Amino acid sequence: MTRLTGDAAALRIGVVGAGGIAHSHLAAWQRLGSRVRVFSSDGRASEVGGRYGATAAPDLAALLADSDVIDVCTPTYTHPDIVRAAAAAGRQVICEKPLARTHTDAAQMIEYCAAAGVQLWPGQVVRFFGEYATAHAAVRAGRIGTPAVLRLSRRGSAPGPEWFADETLSGGIMVDQMIHDFDYARWIAGDVATVYARVVPGPGRTVTAYAVLRHISGALSHLVGAWAGPDEVFRTSFSLAGSAGLLRHSSAATSAVTWAGVHDTRAGAVIPGGTARRSPFDDELAEFARAIAGGPAPRVTAADSLAALDIALAAVMSAAGGRAIAIEEVQR
Amino acid sequence: MTRALGDDPASSPADDTVATGGPARPPFQAAGPRPLRVGLASFAHVHAAGYAALLRDRPDVELRVADPDAGRATDAGVHPRGAELANRLGVQLVDSYAELFDWCSAAVVCAETAWHRGVVQQAAAAGVSVLCEKPLATSVADARAMLDACAEAGVILMTAYPVRLHPDFLALHEQVRAGRIGRVLSAQGTNNGRAPFTDRAWFADRVLAGGGALADHTVHLADLLGLLLDAPPTRVYAQTNRILQGQHPLVSGGDIETGGLVVIDYADGTVATIDCSWSAPASYPAWGGLTLSLQGERGAAGFDAFSERLELFDDSAGSPRWPDYGTNLNALLLEEFVEAVRTGRQGHPDGSAGLRTLALVEAAYRSAQTGAPQPVPSTD
């Protein structure tokens, strides 16, 4: 991965949070050559930041004062306040997905940033994974004809931090995890009209969720998300069937290195690929930094992330009510 | 001797307790060397020629075929049936179903689905046992009439769901029923393939076929789930579309769906999804496939009915192929049917398996039309 150059390289990055996803972002910023400071309310900023050449800020105000870009890597339920503070301070914003726990919060975050004249980019990192980006390009090039039936699957161990298990804080598996595939399905087949979903709790904190989307185009999407036991190897797959072809991928079948009989020392981790030479986080954050520095528009916008959140929220409503949900019911 | 589900101690209790009608007919010449007379009723189905070849090659079977509706097929010129196909296969053709059923003891019904009811009723009236292609009928009412006719006549009725006879499915079934993965919490199945109307045009005729991909490819997985799960389906949600093969004149000028997704709730809370789409393009390395994965309380299990395959890169073929070296499921199905007729026992899958799954498909169509989940009526 090449380092950032020019104005993008000069941006002072302020990361908020020192949990799982912050590690991925800090490592990426370090590879990109950016100057990074970290603030985290849990007091781990100095320790975690130190691993990636980043210095700690004593509080959010100090971080805001000393950054051009605020990169929000905190738990979902804290996003709105932090983004609002960043926008109020005139800082450019990158915010992890989901933007917020509710449609209203996410929509207001977009409005605040627009009103403050700052950019807001969402951490929908799946669009930056090589397999997903390459498949999207192939679909756009017409290789499968018109998308017809999409299958998207994502499995991993249930995330460790307690707040993920609290649906009022994280939104649950569909809002937190499947939002990646909701966003991807929409990227491939366009806006969604209706959502039907079922959530099946397993033993302990495990859960499997299924969703069927009908896109306005008429395309259908089938999604599976699983938060499984601590030894679950993270894996994803997709199958994109179109009027003139079929495109499939399985992470399990395409790993360059595989392990067996080895306990996963990253048990509880939900973020794959932290040490790969080509990290999707590098591509994602570089694209956002270049846009902030006046470069081309990134492949994903905050509006896209809000649309994915709406699909996830419709799925939550559907699973709770046992009926199909029109996407407008969420946006209302 | 190949294994068949009826011989297996792990076969579903549900199947054993479902009433299948009147007594089976007396054993057919069980001790004698005389071959069993089997009639193939119609070449309409894409599986018919395969059945004919398998039955032709069995030393314990004598085969004759009737295909009286061959001339009515809109694609008769492109995909020969009747005398031409009979000659090509080297099997004897008779003129009518009446003549066929007068001669045979057992019949494999491969007519267009809408004609199943009439043909099966005619066979039953002649005292002929039936293995009927799936789906059993184009309506639950027709299927019920078929079950009743066979019960009254005391003949066997089987539904052509061969996947449940797969030796590895039997093993999976036994393990799952024994609690190997705990209670099954959820399942997802795919039965994707090439669109069958490219081989037989009537598969794109809603009246003759009873529907498109949803009718064609939901039932195998619904049957397997019925065996694996304790509780009956109670609610179904389905979405369909017509994008796959959308440029094909039979699709653009017709009214069948080529893609579909189904979500089923079972009475005990289990959730299953079925992808019934005809999503294998012409360049796919095989006709398609069937997979099922199960999430249990204490583990997970997966099944790929056509996993036994080579990967062939043949420069003359253009695209890679998957030559299949696995069990011939249709041969297992015919073995079960012949064995059932010979011994006079009800073979499996039986007619009620066909009826149950058809009731699910009918409810799925109601859901696809209304956009809302629908109750699945019990057929017991």
Report DSSP letters for B35-78, one per residue. Answer: PEEEEEE-S-STTHHHHHHHHHT-TTEEEEEE-TTGGG-TTTTT
Distance from C-alpha of B130 to C-alpha of B140, rounded to nearest angstrom: 18
Q: Does residue B263 surpass a pLDDT of 90?
A: yes
- Cβ A85 vs Cβ A60: under 8 Å: yes
Q: What is the model's pLDDT at position B33?
A: 62
Residue B62's alpha-carbon distances to B3, B55, B81, B344, in angstroms, are: 22, 8, 20, 18
Determine the residue of chain B that is closest to A146 in CA distance: B243
Distance from C-alpha of A235 to C-alpha of A226, rounded to nearest angstrom: 10
The sheet with strand A69-72 has its strands ordered as A55-56, A35-39, A12-16, A69-72, A92-96, A120-123
Q: In chain A, which residues have their Cβ closer than 8 Å to the Cβ of B195?
A: none
Mutate which: B217, B279, B291, vs A, most A CBs within 10 A: B279
Residue B267's alpha-carbon distances to A59, A324, B120, B375, in angstroms, are: 53, 19, 32, 11
Q: Check B279 against A241: CB less than 8 A apart.
A: yes
Q: Check A246 against B258: CB less than 8 A apart.
A: no
Q: Residue B18's pLDDT band (boundaries 50, 70, 90)? A: very low
Distance from C-alpha of B297 to C-alpha of B183, rounded to nearest angstrom: 6
Q: What is the model's pLDDT at position A252?
A: 83
- Cβ B20 vs Cβ B350: under 8 Å: yes
- Cβ B374 vs Cβ B363: under 8 Å: yes
Query: Per-residue DSSP letters for B299-349?
Result: EEEEEETT--B--B--TTTSS-B--B-S--HHHHHHHHHHHHHHHTPPPSS
Q: What is the model's pLDDT at position A253?
A: 80
State the number of CA atoms in the 13 A half-sphere of B202 facing the CB: 23
Query: What ipTM, to 2 d.p.?
Result: 0.91
Q: Does residue B12 surpass a pLDDT of 90?
A: no
Q: Check B237 against A196: CB less than 8 A apart.
A: yes
- Cβ A268 vs Cβ A15: under 8 Å: no
Angle at the Cα of A213 (from A212 to A216), degrees rounded to 5? 160
**Nearest C-alpha of chain B: how many angstroms from A171?**
21
Q: pTM of the full predicted structure?
A: 0.91
Q: What is the model's pLDDT at position A200?
A: 97
Q: Which of residues 224-243 of A touch B (CB under 8 A)?
A: 224, 226, 239, 241-243
Mutate which: A146, A220, A239, vs B, most B CBs within 10 A: A220
Run of H or E residues at B219: helix B219-228
Does A148 contact B at CB distance below 8 Å? yes
Q: How many CB atoms are located within 10 Å of the residue B316 CB?
A: 4
Q: Nearest-CA neighbor of A241 among B295, B370, B195?
A: B195
**Nearest C-alpha of chain A: how many angstroms from B186?**
7
Least confident of A70-79, A241-250, B74-83, B365-374: B74-83
Q: In chain A, which residues have their Cβ closer than 8 Å to the Cβ of B283?
A: 245
Burial A77-110 (b: 16+ CB within 10 A, else e): bbbbebbbbbbebebbbbbbbbbbbbbebbbbbb
Q: What average pLDDT score do residues B85-89 get?
A: 97
- Cβ A201 vs Cβ A331: under 8 Å: no
Instruction: Tell me whether the omega of the peptide bond preceding residue A298 falls within 30 degrees of 0, making it cis.
Output: no
Q: What is the model's pLDDT at position B8?
A: 31
- Give the pLDDT of chain A (332 residues) as one tens digit per residue: 579 999 999 999 999 999 999 999 999 999 999 999 999 999 999 999 999 999 999 999 999 999 999 999 999 999 999 999 999 999 999 999 999 999 999 999 999 999 999 999 999 999 999 999 999 999 999 999 999 999 999 999 999 899 999 999 999 999 999 999 999 999 999 999 999 999 999 988 899 999 999 999 999 999 999 999 888 888 999 999 999 999 999 988 877 776 666 655 554 444 454 445 578 999 999 999 999 999 999 999 999 999 999 999 999 999 999 999 999 999 76
Q: Nearest-CA neighbor of A16 among A53, A89, A69?
A: A69
Determine the residue of chain B that is closest to A219 in CA distance: B241
Distance from C-alpha of B14 to C-alpha of B226, rounded to nearest angstrom: 8
Q: Does residue B223 surpass a pLDDT of 90?
A: yes
Angle at the Cα of A231 (from A229 to A235), degrees rounded to 5? 90
Distance from C-alpha of B304 to C-alpha of B293, rounded to nearest angstrom: 9
Determine the residue of chain A that is closest to B294 in CA distance: A208
Q: What is the model's pLDDT at position A254?
A: 77
**Nearest C-alpha of chain A: how many angstroms from B275?**
8
Q: Which of residues 244-303 of B touch A (CB under 8 A)?
A: 244-247, 258-261, 263, 265, 269-271, 273, 275, 277, 279-281, 283-284, 295, 297-298
Q: In chain B, which residues have their Cβ closer than 8 Å to the Cβ of A147?
A: 243
Read off the DSSP letter of residue A277.
S
- Cβ A40 vs Cβ A70: under 8 Å: no
Read off the DSSP letter of residue A169.
H
Distance from C-alpha of A263 to C-alpha of A265, rounded to nearest angstrom: 6
Distance from C-alpha of A158 to C-alpha of B297, rounded to nearest angstrom: 15
Distance from C-alpha of A214 to C-alpha of A235, rounded to nearest angstrom: 25
Q: Which of residues 190-219 of B touch A (CB under 8 A)?
A: 190, 192
Give the closest of A146, A208, A220 to B186, CB-based.
Answer: A208
Q: In chain B, which residues have their Cβ closer than 8 Å to the Cβ of A321?
A: none
Distance from C-alpha of A29 to C-alpha of A8, rounded to nearest angstrom: 11
Q: Check B186 against A214: CB less than 8 A apart.
A: no
Structure tokens at B227: 């065996």
Q: What is the model's pLDDT at position A321?
A: 95
Radius of gyration of chain B (CA): 20
Mutate which: A198, A216, A223, vs B, most B CBs within 10 A: A198
Give the closest of A219, A245, A246 to B243, CB-based.
Answer: A219
Strand partners, B192: B289
Helix axes B48-56, B329-343, angle to 10 degrees: 60
Q: What is the model's pLDDT at position A272?
A: 52
Give the closest of A148, A242, A323 to B372, CB-based.
Answer: A323
Give the closest of B239, B298, B372 to A220, CB-based.
Answer: B239
Distance from C-alpha of B47 to C-alpha of B41, rounded to nearest angstrom: 12
Residue A325's alpha-carbon distances to A75, A99, A328, A329, A330, in angstroms, are: 27, 21, 8, 7, 8
Q: What is the tens place of the pLDDT at every residue in B313-354?
A: 988 888 899 999 998 999 999 999 999 999 999 999 999 999
CB contacts < 8 A (A, B):
107
